[in-house]
Amino acid sequence: MKGEDFPSSPQEGHSVKSRTRSGPGALFDVHIIVDWSARNAPSPARPSKDAIWWAVAQDGVVGDPEYARTRKDALDRLSARIEAALAGGLKVLVGFDFPFGYPEGVAERVCGKADALALWHWISEHICDGPDNANNRFDVASEINKAYDGIGPMWGRPATWDVPEVPITATERFGDHPPERRIVEAVVPRAKTVWQMAYAGSVGSQVLVGVPAVKTLRERFDEQAQIWPFETGLKAPNADLVLAEIYPSLLADRIASEQRDDEILDAAQVRVNAQAYHDLDRGGELANLFYAAHGLSEKDRQTIVTEEAWILGAGHEATLLAASPEKLTPTPQIQELRYERDPAAIYRQSFEIVKREARLQRFPDNLQPVITRLIHACGMVEIADRIDYAPDFVAQADTSLRSGAPILCDCEMVRSGIITRNLSKDNQIIVTLNDPSVPDLAKRIRNTRSAAAVELWRDHIEGAIVVIGNAPTALFHLLELLDRGWPKPAAILGFPVGFVGAAESKAALAANPRGVPYIALKGRKGGSAIASAAVNALVAGLEGHG
């Protein structure tokens, strides 16, 4: 397994599934191109250049470019867009416009391991990036420079900034520096190097604040996501979500010719690139771009996969430029549609429909708001017939929550769906899946990362609320640990989803809940949205609409 806290990649022999929604042989249904930014403060309220922009192409349409003032806002909105696509069974490609790797040897020098994902982990641990964009990227650049004798290799900073380890110009550097450029930059020589931190066209700062952002996305979607090429090899990937490095200027001429009047260049870049990648994929030609350039040595290919990464499309510029001339059109202007716009009315009508169509009468009064919320979260009234529960579930869970007990979640997406304003200040939400110790622990117990993360709940579990909305192995292992004498939580919310182990883990819980009040959705269905909806219902009933 590569890196510090990433699941292993699929086997080399896996084939790429043919998609029909985007076109025969297409890899993805949704193509998102992101122009990242390393600004040290929020971007202007009015959309501007040198900020975060992205565009989404789907179903033959590229939407108007979107703008975010902060990296946190961008991550939250991108996550929501990706989650909605994945929930609809769609595959998603997200391209970011900064290098995913450093030249050969840097990872081993900085963090002791010739592995790009280990370096990602190191960067993410050292970067502090606040919700207002304030960050310490030059301090981290200083730490990288301290790993080498002399001055460098990172360079470029405002003259007034007191960061002596980072020289203002490249010519001030000296010492045992690593290579100046990656292998891919011999194919795309106009691309700036990772070492330049400031001035026109620089990407060094974007790497230091961008890598933690992509790592966060990767972890939020866990087993559905892969980073190309570190987790896929130089081949077409088959994950539901693929995160890749792109270089928008591969299409510089097309961008110049298609930039609209008064359109900000950053917006034009993401729009045109999203269009091009979507067109290529619809024509069944995108897969070739994942194999990198022709003529690379086996050693170079290994370096690319383990340390340096590759620009998607580099070496295949002719293919990229020949993307279908059929232009995707912006979302058309349509006559205003008639629909309910009042949030309170939407919730009220939704719950009325659920009460009318679902068979709620078999549930006690205090459980009916929870079941209603579960149905509302997934839009399927039939799940009411699949709910299994202990009679004292609501009472015990309510008492625990009101006493300030922690909420233990198996994944970040469950935590993201919990409406925290409805909780007390003592209700700590804990997710241990991305703890650095988890990968090694998973190896030791010979189980998944999700199961290993449960091991870290030991000091918090007594009297806690356990919420499992993703991994069957987390629920199975929790039951095993209770059998070994672990303290008991106040309640278990069992909603793992999937085809392998989901139904079985919930059946095991219902058959023997180990004296713990529980609720579970029998069968394969479940998921993070349903799990977090159950918590929200326990806390706020139907009055808190989120």
Q: What is the DSSP string of 45-62?
A: SS--SSSEEEEEEETTEE
Which one from 121, 278, 376, 477 is the annotated catalytic residue?
376
CATH 3.30.420.140 is right for the domain spanning 30-100+203-321: yes
How many residues can be counted in the chain? 546
- Can you give the pLDDT of all 546 residues of the chain as single tens digits? 344 444 333 333 333 333 444 556 789 999 999 999 999 999 999 999 989 999 999 998 999 999 999 999 999 999 999 999 999 999 999 999 999 999 999 999 999 999 999 999 999 999 999 999 999 999 999 999 999 999 989 999 988 888 889 999 999 999 989 999 999 999 999 999 999 999 888 999 999 999 999 999 999 999 899 999 999 999 999 999 999 999 999 999 999 999 999 999 999 999 999 999 999 998 888 999 999 888 899 999 999 999 999 999 999 888 888 775 554 444 455 566 777 777 777 878 887 888 888 888 888 888 888 888 888 888 888 888 889 999 999 999 999 999 999 999 999 999 988 888 878 888 999 999 999 999 999 999 999 999 999 999 999 999 999 999 999 999 999 999 999 999 999 999 999 999 999 999 999 999 999 999 999 999 999 999 999 989 988 887 544 444
Quick check: 209 and 38 in contact, CB under 8 A? Answer: yes
Burial track 341-359 (b if 16+ CB lie within 10 A, e otherwise): eeeeeebeebbeebeeebe
Cβ neighbours around 405 below 10 Å, total: 23
* Same topology between domain 30-100+203-321 and domain 343-540: no
Q: Which pTM does this prediction carry?
A: 0.61
Domain boundaries defined on the chain: 30-100+203-321, 120-187, 343-540
Q: Where are the beta strands (DSSP E) in 164-321?
A: 225-227, 241-245
Rounded CA separation 90/113 (Å): 35
Q: Where are the beta strands (DSSP E) in 38-156?
A: 52-58, 61-62, 66-68, 92-96
Place domain 343-540 in its CATH homologous superfamily: Cobalamin biosynthesis CobH/CbiC, precorrin-8X methylmutase (3.40.50.10230)
**Residue 50 falls in which region: left (phi positive, over 0), alpha (psi -120 to 50) or beta:** left
Check if 126 is active-site: no
Rounded CA separation 7/438 (Å): 10
